[in-house]
Amino acid sequence: MQTSRPIYLQIADTLCDDILQARYKADERIPSVRELAAQQQVNTNTVMRTFETLERDGIIFNRRGMGYYVSDDAVERITSLRRDHFFDGGEMAWFFSRLRDLGITPDGLCALYNDYLSQ
Amino acid sequence: MQTSRPIYLQIADTLCDDILQARYKADERIPSVRELAAQQQVNTNTVMRTFETLERDGIIFNRRGMGYYVSDDAVERITSLRRDHFFDGGEMAWFFSRLRDLGITPDGLCALYNDYLSQ
Amino acid sequence: MQTSRPIYLQIADTLCDDILQARYKADERIPSVRELAAQQQVNTNTVMRTFETLERDGIIFNRRGMGYYVSDDAVERITSLRRDHFFDGGEMAWFFSRLRDLGITPDGLCALYNDYLSQ
Amino acid sequence: MQTSRPIYLQIADTLCDDILQARYKADERIPSVRELAAQQQVNTNTVMRTFETLERDGIIFNRRGMGYYVSDDAVERITSLRRDHFFDGGEMAWFFSRLRDLGITPDGLCALYNDYLSQ
DNA sequence: GTGGTCTAGACCACG
DNA sequence: GTGGTCTAGACCACG
């Protein structure tokens, strides 16, 4: 039952990560719905929903008959959205409460994060 | 779009928090299905799903005709489940990747966490 | 959730077994509701339901103010009830279908039963 | 009084029998919640409980948006679960004690089982 | 189309 | 009193 993060959002996350890491640059075309669906082994409807979401957030835009392209300010928008989610959306508070319950100290957290960054 | 955490799991979270903070102690009875349903303003079926979930995880157990009670090792089980979720379930990695993308440094994170703890 | 055999029937089973094995003989008094409840660590209501059931089946009878006694024909009644349940109530068919699905042969079954009897 | 086996478990039993008899094969889709509910004349919630139970036991799994499918090792799991129930869960001992009390001999049992198998 | 959540309520066995 | 099962139905996210 436990329904995990929806597939279409997982794909959106991946695309955003790709954009942040400049694998897709501003005004560059991203793969078509069909390509992504084939590559990710999902229904085309699922990818369409991903694109809808990203377009609504101004991260990608459509050139009729040509496909979807990365917005000029995609990086800023992604960062901004994530920042909002993180700070105001309660994600951070939730994480901190988990960390506290697990008995993790600030120093311990710092160490874990350093480990992560140096991977 | 963002589908929120189901009510029955939110109630489970709350009960677990209560147990962690010793508001309900080992072998102590928790409120009945009806009581919780009334208190939380939800249907009894919803609370039943909560109890099913917690029982399956060994956090509470049933005494027939008497209600549900906190398991002896409830605290350990909750902590363990959450720890697993956090470390192995990918929550921490996801958290750290967000932090990195937002340009937060280990020291910055440490400061934020300290703030949170001192609230 | 999985609700096992009701406690009051488990107690009835035990009493019937006791009668079959002559630990309680015809016209002999069985323990009081309170005694049994204390001994089995259950609610007196539960034992009362056990007695109701056994009385309805003619296995025990009440002497006012004195308690419950084993019927003269208790052994016959128990055996008859169990036989009916077993053969006509579908228990045997169910048992055999499980055995068949588990790939147990008549000889295998015979051997298992012999083992059980010689314990 | 004798509370019958819950409908959702009866449906689970039926599905397991179907799988054991290869009416549904590994990785094959089973009917949707709605289909089964209509066919069995029960509420969709009841079928959902069936699926929950079978999924928790690893007998079926969900492909999101597509329905439930038979696990690769469903047959092994069903057999194993039933075997455990039968031998360790005390079913067999219970049956044997009934047989003994009814005065059935190993040879008699063997004959009855042979009759059953040859039906 | 699929399943997942939830309500409002009933009924009942059990303790 | 307790929880467990079930119905009838709604709503919705997801694929």
Residue-wise pLDDT tens for chain A (119 aa)?
556 888 999 999 999 999 998 999 999 999 999 999 988 889 899 999 999 999 999 999 999 888 999 999 999 999 999 888 888 888 898 889 889 988 899 999 999 999 999 98
The stretches of chain A forming alpha helices (DSSP H) are 7-20, 33-40, 44-56, 74-87, 91-101, 106-118
> Treating both helix axes as pointing N-terminal to C-terminal, what angle do B91-101 and A74-87 enclose, rounded to 10 degrees?
130
Q: DSSP assignment, residue D43?
A: -
Residue at the smallest CA–C1' distance to nucleotide E2: D65
Cβ atoms within 10 A of the Cβ of D114, count?
Answer: 12
Which pLDDT score is estimated for A3? 67
- pLDDT at residue B34 above 60? yes
Neighbours of chain C (3+ CB pairs under 8 A): B, D
Q: Distance from C33 to chain B by nearest Cα, in Å?
A: 18
Chain D residues in contact with C102 by the CB 8 A cut-off are 79, 82-83, 86
For residue D102, what pLDDT band results from cuts at 50, 70 and 90?
confident
Residue B10 Cβ < 7 Å to strand F: no
d(CA C57, CA A108): 68
E strand or H helix at D29? none
- pLDDT at residue D2 above 60? no
For residue B1, what pLDDT band results from cuts at 50, 70 and 90?
very low
Average pLDDT over residues D63-72: 95
The dihedrals phi and psi of B111, each to the nearest 5 degrees, come to -65, -45
Beta bridge partners of C70: C60
d(CA D86, CA B56): 22
d(CA D19, CA D15): 6
d(CA B26, CA B69): 8
Q: Residue B72: left if φ>0, alpha if ψ -120 to 50, beta else—which one?
A: alpha
Which pLDDT score is estimated for D68? 97
Residue D68 Cβ < 7 Å to strand E: yes
In order of A87, A107, B7, D49, the CA distances from B89 in angstroms are: 22, 22, 22, 26
Q: pLDDT tens digits for C69-108?
A: 999 999 999 999 988 888 888 888 888 988 998 889 999 9
Q: What is the DSSP string of A70-89?
A: E-TTHHHHHHHHHHHHHHTS
Nearest by CB to C95, from D95, D97, D102: name it: D95
Neighbours of chain A (3+ CB pairs under 8 A): B, D
Touching chains A and C? (3+ Cβ pairs < 8 A): no
> Treating both helix axes as pointing N-terminal to C-terminal, what angle do D106-118 and C91-101 enclose, rounded to 10 degrees?
80
Residue at the smallest CA–C1' distance to nucleotide F3: B65
Interface of D with C (CB under 8 A): 1, 3, 20, 79, 82-83, 86, 91-93, 95-102, 106-107, 109-110, 112-114, 116-117
- The three-state (H, E, C) secondary structure of chain B, written as one string: CCCCCCHHHHHHHHHHHHHHCCCCCCCCECCCHHHHHHHHCCCHHHHHHHHHHHHHCCCEEEECCCEEEECCCHHHHHHHHHHHHHHCCCHHHHHHHHHHHCCCCHHHHHHHHHHHHHC
Q: Do B107 and A102 touch (CB under 8 A)?
A: no
d(CA C22, CA D60): 49
Q: Do B52 and C1 touch (CB under 8 A)?
A: yes
Question: Residue A24: helix, strand or coil by DSSP?
Answer: coil
Cβ atoms within 10 A of the Cβ of C5, count?
Answer: 11
Interface of C with D (CB under 8 A): 3, 6, 17, 20, 53, 79, 82-83, 86, 91-93, 95-96, 98-102, 106-107, 109-110, 112-114, 116-117
Residue A89: CA atoms inside 13 Å, Cβ hemisphere, count? 10
d(CA D51, CA D56): 8
Residue D105: CA atoms inside 13 Å, Cβ hemisphere, count? 3
